[in-house]
DNA sequence: TCGGGTAATGTTATCGATAACATGTTATCG
DNA sequence: CGATAACATGTTATCGATAACATTACCCGA
């Protein structure tokens, strides 16, 4: 069998030669810059069309020191959260004319992180968006290494740090809203199933639960909460444990919707009526949560928007850097909203 | 305030100069090629370390006509399916030393498709993976345009076409397994809620339902099926309609788990016992489906694996192209598996 | 009429690396 | 002992584009 015929790339030189002009003129036509006579422009454009010429972004990036590409570092793409964020990033990037170079982390080894960043920089990305969650001290490298990175880096879902730009959902406020809502429902014994407490986000949610209850003069002892790992199955475990350690609980704030799903199921199995005997509030507002039985009241975080703002922000930083202006690095929060559904509707 | 100090890129020249050798020697050290004396090697390596030199992949790509980057075109990233596939792609790409350049489609306008491909080619991707579903005739361009693309392209979840490499879950077989299972359970009136029938995958699943029932001499009239759009809410609609048009239905094969979720809920609301009065089987095996009430029997498709194989395949095609060998373009199927859970367990 | 601006195009240098070729130095061998 | 191979390094061309500068022609106003 013959080798697959791979057509040779058509370069600016081919166009120039065919059109009988210099490459510079072709470049001028392609970039709609400066002076080209109408006649020449048309001739060149015709040749471009005929040959099917497309400029090499690669070569352009090299000379311009600018690639119109953003690096995106993600973790846990198989979960719905990161991919919704990525969706927002992709949309906005497209709108602003950037492409995305994606790297997925499978661990937080510091060497690995260095390598990932280097490989992005080696490809001349104009900026980097960090979409990996802060867990334990897996972000400590940030403080030491950030100034060695030559392009803007924006962190998502990271605890705000001085002088480092970041955007996150206000998990604390979300939790506050959830608890406030439960209090408004007249609930007085509110338990909590948290995500893994190594996660900054899980911690923030728990803090919201804790502080709001304390402010209302309610108790938040360790018997009133349990820790899961975000998965439905861990939620089930945690709920069973909680039923034991906090038997007269009349409401529960669950760290995410997946875990809340098993709470609903287990409650159902045991004949605990939701919301009458147990009022349930989740977090995240995954699309399915509106179709749980009963439908789940939850805190909705707009991850799509998070992604979009991230791109907007990085691009602003890039442009500021180009113009030699400086943007003050800031941490920003996006406010979540409470979606009230059957699991907390007391008639 | 001072402009943010952006450190100038350290190039191979800087290293060469500092180490007192030619750039070529540095290049040799970096690529562990051919002859370099130990002494020189060490000296260069030390300088590389000191200056923190990292070669520009961009420049290398330009001269080598090879970028070690794959283009990935996706659609509907915000849904769990595509992102699990992407996850598999990311993992394998990393393993094989490739980066990913991602473009998300928001429609299937043919011009837009052309632009997306061009923008990937302009960045010298070595191959392309197409992760957008086949809907209606949104893939007709493939037959006409494929030979104009200068790098290997692999399609996922596309109807097999002659001479065009593709990989897909065997949706038809998955459906066959589901129906066979329901028949084994002694069910005789099996309904179906399909995905949007414009989708090739939805069609295949429906075909599996249809042909398997017919083969067993059962009826598959239009009253026995309804069409949803994959969403839970459409599933609810379709189920209600089906209850009406097919009142003595004793089992139902639902096109995906999200729609099955609302079937379970609506059945519950109406006091239809699952699985005794209505046996339910879904498709996809989303993580939550094991925690539905009752837990859902479903057809599991391994999208992660799909992604991994896609990368493996494209890379093989790339290497074959390099070696001027040719690989015969083939369409491949991945077999799904049936996961039996409570919603079909008849005691 | 001549200097200077605008228009139109070409020439050369450059981005950061590697390919291809050239050169010089040792070792090896018949 | 000279030829040949292996080793070690340097020089120049190249990838595909744009930046920076140069050139030419023409027009206009002082």
Asked if the Cβ of residue A11 lies within 7 A of any atom of strand D, the reply is yes
Nearest to A83 among B4, B78, B150 (CB): B78
Nearest to A326 among B4, B94, B236 (CB): B4
- pLDDT higher than 90, residue B294: yes
Maximum mean pLDDT: which of A31-40, A203-212, A323-332: A203-212
Candidates A71, A83, A239, A262, partner chain B, best to mutate (most B CBs within 10 A): A83
- Which pLDDT tens digit goes with each residue over B238-293? 999 999 999 999 999 999 999 999 999 999 999 999 999 999 999 999 999 999 99
The model's confidence at residue A344, banded by pLDDT at 50, 70 and 90, is: very high
B140: its two tokens: 């007709």
- Residue at the smallest CA–C1' distance to nucleotide D15: B63
Residues of B in contact with A86 (CB under 8 A): 77, 83
What average pLDDT does the segment A38-49 reach? 94
Q: What is the pLDDT of residue A92?
A: 97
- Which pLDDT tens digit goes with each residue over B183-207? 999 999 999 999 999 999 999 999 9
Q: What is the pLDDT of residue B324?
A: 64
B103 contacts A90? CB cut-off 8 A: yes
Asked if the Cβ of residue A27 lies within 7 A of any atom of strand D, the reply is yes
A102 contacts B90? CB cut-off 8 A: yes
The dihedral through the CA atoms of A281, A287, A290, A292 has a sign that is negative
Nearest to A288 among B1, B258, B268 (CB): B258
Nearest to A124 among B56, B78, B304 (CB): B56
Q: Are A226 and A239 in contact (CB under 8 A)?
A: yes
Directed axis angle between helix A80-95 and helix A303-322, to 10°? 40
Q: What is the pLDDT of residue A239?
A: 98
CA of residue A60 to C1' of nucleotide D18, angstroms = 7
Domains in chain A, ordered, with CATH?
Answer: 12-55 (1.10.260.40), 68-169+304-335 (3.40.50.2300), 171-301+338-344 (3.40.50.2300)
A232 contacts B291? CB cut-off 8 A: yes
CA distance A9 to chain B (A): 8
DSSP string, A254-284: ESSHHHHHHHHHHHHHTT--TTTT-EEEEEE
What average pLDDT does the segment A21-30 reach? 94
For chains A and B, CB pairs below 8 A equal 186
What average pLDDT does the segment A131-136 reach? 95
What average pLDDT does the segment B196-220 reach? 97
Asked if the Cβ of residue A322 lies within 7 A of any atom of strand C, the reply is no
Which residues lie below 8 Å from residue A103, measured CB to CB, with a gap of 6+? Answer: A71, A72, A73, A74, A116, A119, A120, B90, B94, B99, B100
SS3 call for A151: coil
Q: Are A217 and A249 in contact (CB under 8 A)?
A: no
A20: its two tokens: 């009988």
CA of residue B12 to C1' of nucleotide C25, angstroms = 26
Q: What is the pLDDT of residue A145?
A: 85
By C-alpha distance, which of A168, A268, A61 is closest to B101?
A: A61
A99 contacts B103? CB cut-off 8 A: yes
Q: Are B179 and B211 in contact (CB under 8 A)?
A: no
- CB within 7 A of strand C (chain B, 27-66): 27, 30-31, 53-56, 58-60, 62-64
By C-alpha distance, which of B293, B231, B226, B227 is closest to B257?
A: B231
What average pLDDT does the segment B24-48 reach? 91
CA of residue A193 to C1' of nucleotide C17, angstroms = 54
Exposure string over B147-157, b if 16+ CB within 10 A, otherwise e:
eebebbbbbbb
Q: What is the pLDDT of residue A105?
A: 94
What average pLDDT does the segment A144-165 reach? 92
Percent of chain A with pLDDT strictly greater than 90? 85
Nearest to A288 among B148, B151, B288 (CB): B288
Task: Tell me which nucleotides of strand C come within 7 A of a protein CB.
Answer: 7-12, 14-20
Q: Kindly report the average pLDDT of chain A as a whole number.
A: 93
Q: How far apart are CA B82 and CA B100, in angstroms?
A: 15
B268: its two tokens: 């519950």
Q: What is the pLDDT of residue A147?
A: 82
Asked if the Cβ of residue A64 lies within 7 A of any atom of strand D, the reply is yes
Q: What is the pLDDT of residue B325?
A: 66
- pLDDT higher than 80, residue B136: yes
Residues of B in contact with A83 (CB under 8 A): 77-78, 80, 82-83, 86
The model's confidence at residue A347, banded by pLDDT at 50, 70 and 90, is: low
A103 contacts B90? CB cut-off 8 A: yes
A56 contacts B124? CB cut-off 8 A: yes
- Which pLDDT tens digit goes with each residue over B149-188? 889 999 999 999 999 999 999 999 999 999 999 999 999 9
Nearest to B57 among A56, A102, A122 (CB): A122
How many angstroms separate the Cα of B346 from the Cα of each of A245, A321, B184, B249?
35, 66, 11, 16
Q: What is the pLDDT of residue A222?
A: 94
Residues of A in contact with B291 (CB under 8 A): 232-233, 236, 258, 261-262, 265
Task: Tell me which nucleotides of strand D come within 7 A of a protein CB.
Answer: 7-12, 14-20
What average pLDDT does the segment A80-88 reach? 94
Q: What is the pLDDT of residue A7?
A: 57
Q: Which residue bears the tokens 């949706």?
A: B171
Q: How many CB atoms lie under 10 A from the CB of residue A277?
A: 12
Q: How many CB atoms lie under 10 A from the CB of residue A130?
A: 25
CA of residue B10 to C1' of nucleotide D9, angstroms = 23
Percent of chain B with pLDDT strictly greater than 70? 96
- Which pLDDT tens digit goes with each residue over A231-260? 999 999 999 999 999 999 999 999 999 999
- CB within 7 A of strand D (chain B, 21-60): 21-25, 28, 34-37, 39-41, 59
CA distance B86 to chain A (A): 8
- pLDDT higher than 90, residue B217: yes
- Residue at the smallest CA–C1' distance to nucleotide D6: B35
Residues of A in contact with B129 (CB under 8 A): none
The model's confidence at residue B3, banded by pLDDT at 50, 70 and 90, is: very low
- pLDDT higher than 80, residue B327: no
Q: Kindly report the average pLDDT of chain B as a whole number.
A: 93
- pLDDT higher than 90, residue A107: no
**Helix, strand, coil shares of chain B as percentages rounded to 5?**
45, 15, 35
């Amino acid at each position: 069998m013959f080798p697959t015929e791979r057509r040779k790339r058509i370069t600016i030189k081919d166009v120039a030669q065919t059109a009988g002009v210099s490459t510079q003129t072709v470049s001028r036509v392609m970039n709609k810059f400066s002076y080209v006579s109408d006649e020449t422009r048309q001739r060149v454009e015709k040749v471009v069309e005929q040959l099917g010429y497309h400029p090499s972004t690669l070569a352009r990036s090299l000379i311009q020191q600018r690639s119109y590409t953003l690096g995106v570092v993600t973790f846990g793409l198989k979960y719905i959260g990161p991919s919704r964020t990525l969706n927002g990033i992709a949309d906005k990037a497209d709108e602003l004319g950037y492409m995305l170079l994606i790297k997925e982390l499978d661990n937080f080894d510091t060497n690995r992180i260095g390598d990932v960043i280097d490989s992005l920089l080696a490809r001349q990305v104009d900026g980097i968006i960090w979409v990996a969650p802060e867990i334990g001290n897996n972000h400590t490298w940030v403080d030491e290494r950030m100034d060695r990175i030559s392009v803007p880096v924006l962190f998502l879902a990271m605890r705000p740090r001085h002088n480092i730009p970041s955007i996150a959902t206000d998990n604390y406020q979300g939790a506050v809203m959830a608890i406030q809502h439960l209090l408004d429902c007249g609930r007085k014994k509110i338990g909590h199933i948290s995500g893994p407490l190594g996660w900054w986000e899980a911690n923030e949610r728990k803090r919201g639960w804790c502080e709001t209850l304390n402010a209302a003069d309610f108790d938040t002892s360790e018997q009133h909460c349990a820790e899961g790992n975000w998965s439905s199955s861990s939620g089930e475990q945690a709920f069973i444990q909680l039923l034991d350690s906090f038997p007269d609980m009349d409401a529960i704030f669950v760290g995410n919707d997946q875990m809340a799903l098993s709470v609903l199921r287990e409650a159902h199995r045991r004949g605990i009526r939701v919301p009458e005997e147990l009022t349930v509030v989740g977090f995240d507002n995954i699309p399915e949560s509106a179709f749980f039985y009963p439908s789940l009241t939850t805190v909705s975080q707009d991850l799509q928007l998070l992604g979009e703002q991230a791109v907007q922000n990085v691009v602003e930083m890039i442009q500021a850097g180009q113009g030699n202006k400086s943007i003050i690095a800031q941490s920003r929060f996006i406010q979540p909203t409470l979606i009230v559904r059957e699991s907390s509707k007391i008639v």
